[in-house]
Amino acid sequence: MDTHAGPLDVRSSRLEQLEGDFAALAPQLAQGPEKQAISTLHGMVQELWRAVGASGPAQARLGPNIEDIVELHQHAPAMEGDAVSTPLEIGQVAPEFALPDANGRTVRLSDFRGRPVVLAFYPLDWSPGCSRQLDLYQQEIEEFQRRGVELVGISVDSLYSHGAWAAVRGLKFPLLADFNPKGEVAKRYNVWRDKDGFSERALYVIDDTGVIRYVHVSPKLQHVPDIYELLEVLNGLNTRKAA
């Protein structure tokens, strides 16, 4: 199969395969109401495919499908720029916050006391770099869980944007809305980009007592932090706790 085939090509190929299977089986069916019903159903499927499966005015009237929405970030404008912030220092107590998640539930930093937490500040939902970064974290979520670490995303998007974006991308960890007052928590953590109206791409690792143990601000806004470096930091937290 062509590895560059799009969703429509894949569906078309699958339909052709099923069409061949039907053609081979149909002669084996005895004449009667059952065969007539199956043939009618087959015709309905063919008509539906012609109406919505092929490119053209009918598909255009339907608008984008879920696959188009998932791939929106591929066509979004690039998000670029140098870092402009100096983050909080390692060793100080992380500032408390209370922000809503995508379900409207208030989440506080103190809720995580007793276990480490990674705060992943990112600029905006739906943007190219943020989609890649949070997809990566979701793919490796078991690595965070295995280390007993809570992962939390924070951006200035509304809880409604977070809910839609998480659903489309299959994100299972909390996304918090630093929306009102806009960027208030990013400002407390010294990762706010005032001219842009969103945060740096930044990571804070906070230990089980609420103390900052690691900070990373991407030197370029489009740079996704190295996840292996992050996991090594989390390994170090567990080593320190064991000692």
Provide the annotated active-site residues.
Answer: 130
Per-residue exposure over 76-112, b if at least 16 CB sit within 10 Å of its own CB, e if not: eeebeeebebebbeeeeebeebebbbbeeeebebeeb
Q: Which residues pair with 211 in a beta bridge?
A: 93
Distance CA 218, CA 24 (A): 58
140: burial class by Cβ within 10 Å (0-12, 13-18, 19+)? middle
Q: Which one, of 73, 48, 72, lies nearest residue 62 by Cα?
A: 48
Asked if residue 130 lies in contact with residue 121, where contact means CB atoms within 8 angstroms, the answer is: no
